Homo-oligomer: A and B are copies of this chain.
Amino acid sequence: MRMDNLSFGADGTDPSANTNGISLINGKRKPPVDPEKSVAVLGTGDYGRAIARRLVNNGYTVFVGSRDPNRNKIKQMVRDTGASLTTQESAIASCDVVIVAVGRDYYDYLPLQSLRAKILIDVSNNTEPRRGPHYRSNAEYLQGLVQDAKVVKGFNVLSAYALENGGLQGSKEVFLAGDHSDAKTRVSEMVRMMGFHPVDWGSLQAARDIEDVPLRLMPSWKRPVLVVFGVFLFLWFLAFMSFQICYNIKNGDWSKMWKHIALQNFNRVLGITSLWILSFCYLPGLLAAYIQLWRGTKYSRFPKFLDDWLKMRKQLGLLMLGMASMHGCMSVAFVTPKTTEWVYEAPRQILAQVVVDANTTTTDTITIYDSELNWRGEIFLACGAISLCLLVVLGITSLPSVTATLSWREFTFVQSKLGWVALVVAALHDIFLAWNFMIDYWSCFQTFPIGPQYALYPVFIAIVMKIPLLLPPVDNYLQKIRRGYERKSEYEVSKSQVA
């Protein structure tokens, strides 16, 4: 798809000046180019060529402007894109829309005069987030250089690879920012024609955020992952000391030392961690409520740790859901009448003649396990399944497209009401599993609680904190504060104003 720019006459430029490119290769004349569908690209680097190629493939006439359009190397590279290679000035003169595909360091060397009154698309990225009180994004810097131009930030969230492959797999969204809505509309249309989805992020100042997007690697997940990992390690260490070391010291049998590391111990810690983290999703909200009650206002800042904690809840919840699912998945295959004998009907022991080899038998005691759950086992398993299903529902309502269909009231109902039910049912799951061991201690260290007990500690704290808030007078007062009521008297206000 080569374009013949000989016949191009938009903007009154002399197209005959524009023959230093590869425009005559086909020797065919094309009909006059639609000015709405012609774009200049400044810069012959990888990104410039990728965007030029994509534009050409979507029916645009593209003029790639180079500072050195006669170099063979550049000619060859640009030819493959189907765009016309020319000088920067000539490319700019031919089009209303100019894509600036050079680094910020080179902005000063652009033909700034000729860029006036054009729509400039800044596609640049940074290699690291740069911030400070006086920081300006690349796009704002460009706008500062050419104040008469209409700068639009865009495309930087797409890699050259995504441009070449139509974003086949990743997000197809292109974030735009700019102070000129007519320019943004024009660029939006171009984005759509190229097969992507334009998303307007507002004024050019938003370019600061847009330029950080490609550098982002799940910033909101880092802290929650660390918290969950830390809790898991701590609980794993406790379980390792209790169920492996301590148990084997007591039994004097070290042969099984490593045997249950991979699954039994791991699975147990997954379960306990899930219960802790699920409580951790509700504890900060309770703390916040008490602080609001104490201070008598919602207009005071929470301590920073609480603020961070409140913002982590969604991620904590999703990580918890992953662990709870893995726990469920492992448990159904692994919980057997032998491993968790106490939730099944009592096994029976028989004296049997065990076959040693073809000719020898020896009399030994053999345990015949019963695969029927007892009543505690039935409740234990039912609670686990119900709790997991409720948590999956919570997970589904966290999917962006589902959240978007829920009103604030509906979202709160699911995340709060259903979540509390899941928490209580999960605690019952733990209680009915370990019914017989709720007053047990470490086998070698008789004052230390075991897993199923400390699994319940945060749930217990959460429930104890929740109950007073359910009392109608407390609840009403909290609702009043949350609607904006402040307890502080006029007198105190005046005093704080003086101070």
Q: Which residues of A contact B (CB under 8 A)?
A: 45-47, 49, 59, 72-73, 75-77, 80, 157-162, 165, 168-173, 181, 185, 189, 192-193, 197, 200-203, 205-206, 213-218, 258-264, 266-267, 299, 310-311, 313-314, 322, 325-326, 328-339, 348-355, 361, 364-366, 368-375, 377-379, 381-382, 385-386, 388-389, 392-393, 396, 399-413, 415, 482-484, 486, 490, 493-494, 496-497
**A192 — which chain B residues lie within 8 A by C-beta?**
200-202
**A379 — which chain B residues lie within 8 A by C-beta?**
262-263
A381–B411 touching, CB < 8 Å: no
**Least distance between A181 CB and chain B CB atoms (Å):** 7
Contact of A354 (CB < 8 Å), options: B197, B349, B372: B349
The prevalent SS among residues of A at the interface is helix
A337–B162 touching, CB < 8 Å: no
A159–B486 touching, CB < 8 Å: no
**Least distance between A333 CB and chain B CB atoms (Å):** 4
A372–B412 touching, CB < 8 Å: no
A171–B403 touching, CB < 8 Å: yes
Question: Nearest residue in B to A53 (C-beta to C-beta)?
Answer: B299
Given contacts A350-B366, A355-B349, is CB(A218)–CB(B410) below 8 Å?
A: yes
Given contacts A185-B181, A214-B409, A407-B216, is CB(A382)–CB(B171) below 8 Å?
A: no
**A267 — which chain B residues lie within 8 A by C-beta?**
382
B185–A339 touching, CB < 8 Å: no
- Determine the distance from Cα of A399 to Cα of B402 in the docked complex, in whole angstroms: 7
**Least distance between A301 CB and chain B CB atoms (Å):** 10
**A158 — which chain B residues lie within 8 A by C-beta?**
408
- Determine the distance from Cα of A496 to Cα of B73 in the docked complex, in whole angstroms: 11
**Least distance between A179 CB and chain B CB atoms (Å):** 9
**A396 — which chain B residues lie within 8 A by C-beta?**
399
Question: Nearest residue in B to A486 (C-beta to C-beta)?
Answer: B77
A262–B382 touching, CB < 8 Å: yes
A157–B368 touching, CB < 8 Å: no
**A375 — which chain B residues lie within 8 A by C-beta?**
258-259, 262
- Determine the distance from Cα of A311 to Cα of B413 in the docked complex, in whole angstroms: 23
**A415 — which chain B residues lie within 8 A by C-beta?**
169
B157–A407 touching, CB < 8 Å: yes
**Least distance between A271 CB and chain B CB atoms (Å):** 13
- Determine the distance from Cα of A382 to Cα of B49 in the docked complex, in whole angstroms: 48
**A370 — which chain B residues lie within 8 A by C-beta?**
338
B381–A333 touching, CB < 8 Å: yes
- Determine the distance from Cα of A378 to Cα of B259 in the docked complex, in whole angstroms: 8
Question: Nearest residue in B to A317 (C-beta to C-beta)?
Answer: B169
B263–A381 touching, CB < 8 Å: yes
**Least distance between A76 CB and chain B CB atoms (Å):** 4
B170–A403 touching, CB < 8 Å: yes
**A170 — which chain B residues lie within 8 A by C-beta?**
403, 406, 408, 411-412
Provide 21 A-B residue pairs closer than 8 Å at the C-beta atoms, listed in order of the A residue.
A45-B484, A72-B490, A72-B493, A80-B299, A158-B408, A162-B408, A169-B411, A189-B202, A216-B407, A259-B375, A262-B379, A262-B382, A325-B389, A329-B332, A329-B388, A332-B332, A333-B335, A336-B372, A348-B354, A351-B355, A396-B399
Contact of A263 (CB < 8 Å), options: B352, B378, B407: B378
**A336 — which chain B residues lie within 8 A by C-beta?**
371-372
B400–A405 touching, CB < 8 Å: yes
